[in-house]
Amino acid sequence: MKNLINRNVNDVFDEIIRKRRSIRSFKSIVPSKEIIKEIITAGAYAPYGALAITDISQYRRFFVFTKNHGYLDRINTYIKEAAKANLEELEKDLKKEPDLKEESESYKRRLESFAMNGFIGLSEVPCLIIIAEKRGLPSVERQSLAHVLENMWLKVAAMDMGMHLFSIIESLSSSKEFSSLLKLNHGEYTYTGCVIGFPLTKSEKKEDIHVDKSISWY
């Protein structure tokens, strides 16, 4: 009986992994606080850099912004500023290493779009969640944030909801104004974010991935 239960759990987990995908179009409905809390709780269970955090009180924080609030417009202003700064840094790097120009074109166009328009439609997203991970030594906060997002993403997939990674938020880690908005000490945390909501349309089935050619056995 125990083996049967374990197989059932394993099959469900495999199904959830295959369902996980990036969703960019959402219904206008804002998820309830109970649903959002469940998703955040999954993220809170993600591992963190224990050696890097001497004070484990509030090493990880979550901030929820829903549509129709002025906060999203303010965040978009910070995104524009951060994108402009990143664009300037990219231009400097390309002067030093011009061979990277062709490879960086897609990234450059994306930064230019953010610098000019911010995140188009940000004020209409159902729910934006910002995650802040405390910095320490060794510097593993980005790895911890990746674990948080993966946990949340799997939970979202299990709930038949949608999620879109919002990686530009990491650029706001250097923004004093953004840290002030979150009421956090500037430079103490690294940020990332995601948009969650109910998908506007049913996503297509993901193609099967065959890993045989990617594995080396020893």
- What phi, psi does 207 have (nearest 5°)? -65, 145
Average pLDDT over residues 69-86: 91
> What are 128-167's pLDDT values in tens digits?
999 999 998 888 899 999 999 999 999 999 999 999 999 8
- Burial-class residue 174 by CB neighbours within 10 Å (0-12, 13-18, 19+): middle
Rounded Cα distance, 155 and 140, in Å:
23
pLDDT in tens, 28-67: 999 999 999 999 999 999 988 776 676 666 789 999 999 8
Give the residue extent of every domain in the chain: 23-197
In terms of C-beta density within 10 A (0-12 exposed, 13-18 middle, 19 or more buried), how is residue 112 classed? middle
Highest CATH level, class, for 23-197: alpha beta
On whether the CB atoms of residues 47 and 185 are closer than 8 A, the answer is: no
pLDDT band at 82 (very low <50, low <70, confident <90, very high): very high
- Predicted local confidence at residue 56, as pLDDT: 65
pTM of the model: 0.89
Is the pLDDT at 173 greater than 90? The verdict is yes
Whether residue 138 is preceded by a cis peptide bond, meaning omega within 30 degrees of 0, is yes
pLDDT band at 4 (very low <50, low <70, confident <90, very high): low
In tens, the pLDDT along 174-214 reads 999 999 999 999 999 999 999 999 998 877 767 788 888 89
DSSP code at position 26 = B
Average pLDDT over residues 84-93: 90
DSSP state, 101? Answer: T
Q: Answer for the pair 93, 187: CB distance below 8 angstroms, yes or no.
A: no
